[in-house]
Each structure stands twice: as C-alpha cells, then as structure tokens.
Amino acid sequence: MKRLLEPVEDVVVNLLRLANTKLPADIGWALEAAAGWETGEIARTQLGAIMENVKKAEHLGLPMCQDTGIPVFYVRGRFSSGIASEIAEGVRKATSVIPLRPNTVDPLTRENDGSNLGLGMPIIHYIPEDVEYTEITVLPKGAGSENMTRLAMLNPADGVEGVTKFVIDSVL
C-alpha cells in the first residue's frame, strides 16, 4: 500500500474544519436567492443574519453553528486496519483546535470526556474498493435530526431484567 500524502489525523482535522466553517457554494447561492425572493421582513432579516454568520464563520475559521454535530465518516478505497484509530485521533485533535463542541457522551453514564470520542464514535462507514487511493468524507450530523428510536414488545415475565437488557442492547 502506498503512503498517504498527509497523515490521516491532519486530513481529518482539515475536513472537519472545512465542513464546519465553510458552506458549500450552492447552499450559499440558495440562501442569497431566498433572501432576494422573500417578501416577509422578519424572514428576510433572519436569512440576512444566517448569511452574515456564514461569512463570519468562514473569515474567522470558526464553526457556523454552536452544535457541530457528531462526525460521521465514509472511508472509500484502500485503507489500513489502523485507520479507525487515526480518524479518532484526528477527531480528538479537531475538537480542541477548531474547536468543535464535544457532543459525544457515554450512552449509560452520560459522561462527556470532551473529545467527541466514545463507544462507536466517531461513526465510520467503510467502503473497500480495489483502487490506488483512500477517500475520506465527513458529515457533521446534528443529533436532533439523527435521534433514533427503538420499540420492543416484552412479555410480562421478562420483568425488570428484560427491560434492562432491551435498554442496554438498544444504546450499545
């Protein structure tokens, strides 16, 4: 396997910085267009505030939103077995240097170590391909839109132990 041009940790920091501080051009154009078409004064003012915030975030290199979400990665191509730990180290570094709000908490204790790391975090999807490169994509996913629900029909005989097992199986 060929060596990467940059350490994965640095790539992850740069990707998270870009994803959290710079809006894609088409979204910026859509906001500007919406502000031009909007007839309501309050809505126009809000769109203007959003656009000003986006410009300041890019200029200052700070996140556009205080909620920087949970980093979700897609790794495509060829990659080493250690890439998960390299991505995790990049997330840890990015959380402190950008900075990103540490949103990841332990699913049972709700403790937050401030790193955006934990059991199953960051989320990494692997897409192995027989190519000569590694492509890493990151999506900062807001937890509100990603809230997940689980439902189970338990038998009364399952008792508290059944409920406890279901909850633990659901969150871990």
Q: Which residue has the tokens 């410009």?
A: 55
User: Which pairs from 3-8 meet CB under 8 Å and 24+ separation?
Assistant: 4/134, 7/86, 8/83, 8/86, 8/87, 8/89, 8/90, 8/136
**Is 30 in the same domain as 70?**
no
Range of the domain at 135: 1-19+66-172
Question: Is it the case that residue 3 has pLDDT exceeding 70?
Answer: no
**Is 100 in the same domain as 137?**
yes
Q: Grade residue 4 by pLDDT with cuts at 50, 70 and 90.
A: low
Counting every residue written for the chain, the total comes to 172
**Is 100 in the same domain as 171?**
yes
Q: Quick one: how many helices (H) and strands (E) in the chain? A: 5, 3
**Is 161 in the same domain as 128?**
yes
Please state whether the peptide bond connecting residue 122 to the residue before it is cis, i.e. omega within 30 degrees of 0.
Answer: yes
Domain boundary residue, one of 63, 91, 115: 63
Question: Is it the case that residue 148 has pLDDT exceeding 80?
Answer: no
Q: Which residue has the tokens 């990467």?
A: 4
pLDDT of residue 119: 85
**Number of domain units in the chain:** 2
Strand order, beta sheet including 134-141: 123-128, 70-77, 134-141
**Is 12 in the same domain as 30?**
no
**Is 71 in the same domain as 57?**
no
pLDDT of residue 71: 94
**Residue 119: which residues within 8 A CB-CB, separation 6 or more?**
106, 107, 172
**Is 168 in the same domain as 84?**
yes
**Is 157 in the same domain as 172?**
yes
**Is 29 in the same domain as 103?**
no
pLDDT of residue 60: 95
Residues 29-57 have pLDDT tens digits of 999 999 999 999 999 999 999 999 999 99
